[in-house]
Amino acid sequence: MRFSTFIALAALFNPTRSYGAIYSLSDEVCGPGFYGFFEWEAIEDPTHGRVTYVDKPTSIHQNLTYSTSDTFILRTDFDTVLDPNGPGRNSVRIRSKKTYTSHVAVFDVRHIPQGCGTWPAIWETLEATWPNGGEIDIVEGANDQGTNQATLHTSPGCVMPTNRTMTGTPTYDTCDATLNFNAGCGVKFPTASSFGPAFNTNGGGWYAMERSPTYFKVWFWSRDDFDVPSDVAHTRPFVNPDAWGTPAAYFPSTSCDFSTYFNAHNIIINLSLCGDWAGSTYSQGTGCPSTCVDYVNYNASAFTDAYFDFALIRVYQDSRNNHYSRRKATF
């Protein structure tokens, strides 16, 4: 092989070079593998949504989760008219059994929940110490509005620089969860197809998040995007996010020491209805009828498209932190 090729390969597979790192495959989750990788959180919605999170047997029995060899569906109930004085519409919230520090997570998603009142999220946090262990929201939005938003939420003191190398547009610079009604420091993605009906009509796409000791980066590629890196579109033993181009959202540690603000995180997927975000913005230019809670209570069939369809989740960990065991979360 040519010497320059050798140098390039050596750099690619040398796990001791400084960031950017090469991350090696730790978990590949697909189809029925979701049932082993995640645990079901049958909890009251902490964000005051009009939902009831059910346990695993109930979600299977009511077909709110469903898998085939290459599909995992997670949805809300769409055929029960609710008693307005009773509990909210059944939905599902799942949390990975494992926690992660430096890692890359790739979400290959075919469909995200859409419709008035919906508030889907793919995110990471450590619930037990929230917000002291920090939170990163990778996929989030409400009422089909706008593009995807990635956001950090932290304890007081963590701030993002205004001028950052990313394609998205920042909202607040302070990540302090006690300010701005816990809006956090968000970044709106530039791509229309990164959220809601536009995401779904394109057949979905890939979200990827890299967490290093000094930054978070989040990318999005639509299903028909020619630029999707091959180590995102396909399962490889390693990924090299340094080659993925400018992220949609970039959160550096410049004014936010990560060892102070972030612990190891679980991956969480939840689908809420109304609540703090979707409820408060329900009538703001959305065209959504009546009130959010009435819509959820009485319009069951409006939630037919309120579902996630996952092709895969892959988690890669920093090759230098070999404190994990490699496993494949399938049956």
Using rule CB under 6 A, residue 39 touches ligand NAG: no
Per-residue burial over 175-184, b if 16 or more Cβ lie within 10 Å, else e, is bbbeeeeebb
Q: Which helix (H) or strand (E) holds 34?
A: helix 33-37
Site for ligand NAG in 214-243 (CB under 6 A): none
Residue owning tokens 């009538």: 283
Residues 162-181, mask of contacts with ligand NAG (x by CB under 6 A): -x------------------
Compare residues 44 and 257 and give the one whose CB is closer to ligand NAG: 44
* Residue in 289, 304, 327, 328 binding ligand NAG, rule: CB under 6 A: 289
DSSP code of residue 205: E
Backbone CA torsion sign across 249, 155, 161, 241: negative
Using rule CB under 6 A, residue 63 touches ligand NAG: yes
| In the complex, least distance from residue 180 CB atom to ligand NAG, rounded to whole angstroms | 14
By CB atoms closer than 10 A (0-12, 13-18, 19+), residue 285 is: exposed
Give 279's contacts (C-beta < 8 A, 6+ positions apart).
48, 49, 50, 117, 292, 293
* Region of 2-10, 193-201, 240-248, 289-297 interacting with ligand NAG (CB under 6 A): 289-297
Pick from 320, 286, 304: nearest CA to 111: 304
140 is catalytic: yes
* Residue in 45, 77, 108, 231 binding ligand NAG, rule: CB under 6 A: 45
| In the complex, least distance from residue 319 CB atom to ligand NAG, rounded to whole angstroms | 29
44 is catalytic: no
Using rule CB under 6 A, residue 299 touches ligand NAG: yes
Using rule CB under 6 A, residue 33 touches ligand NAG: no
* Residue in 17, 201, 298, 327 binding ligand NAG, rule: CB under 6 A: 298
Q: Which member of 28, 41, 124, 135 is catalytic?
A: 135
One-letter-per-residue 3-state SS of 45-90? CCCCECEEECCHHHHHHCCCEEEECCEEEEECCCCCCCCCCCCCEE
Phi, psi of 294 (to 5 degrees): -65, -40
* Region of 204-212, 245-253, 298-306, 315-323 interacting with ligand NAG (CB under 6 A): 298-306
Using rule CB under 6 A, residue 77 touches ligand NAG: no
Contact 244, 253 (CB under 8 A): no
Compare residues 72 and 221 and give the one whose CB is closer to ligand NAG: 72
Residue nearest to ligand NAG (CB): 272
DSSP code of residue 13: H
Site for ligand NAG in 113-142 (CB under 6 A): 121, 123, 137, 140
From residue 256, alpha-carbon distances to 87, 154, 172, 176 in Å are 40, 9, 14, 11
* Region of 18-26, 217-225, 292-300, 320-328 interacting with ligand NAG (CB under 6 A): 292-300
Give 282's contacts (C-beta < 8 A, 6+ positions apart).
116, 117, 143, 274, 288, 291, 292, 295
Using rule CB under 6 A, residue 301 touches ligand NAG: no
First to last CA, the chain: 41
Using rule CB under 6 A, residue 13 touches ligand NAG: no
* Region of 5-13, 194-202, 224-232, 269-277 interacting with ligand NAG (CB under 6 A): 269-277
Contact 171, 137 (CB under 8 A): no
What are the residues binding ligand NAG (CB under 6 A)?
A: 45-47, 49, 63, 66, 73, 93, 121, 123, 137, 140, 163, 270, 272, 275, 289-290, 294-295, 298-299, 302
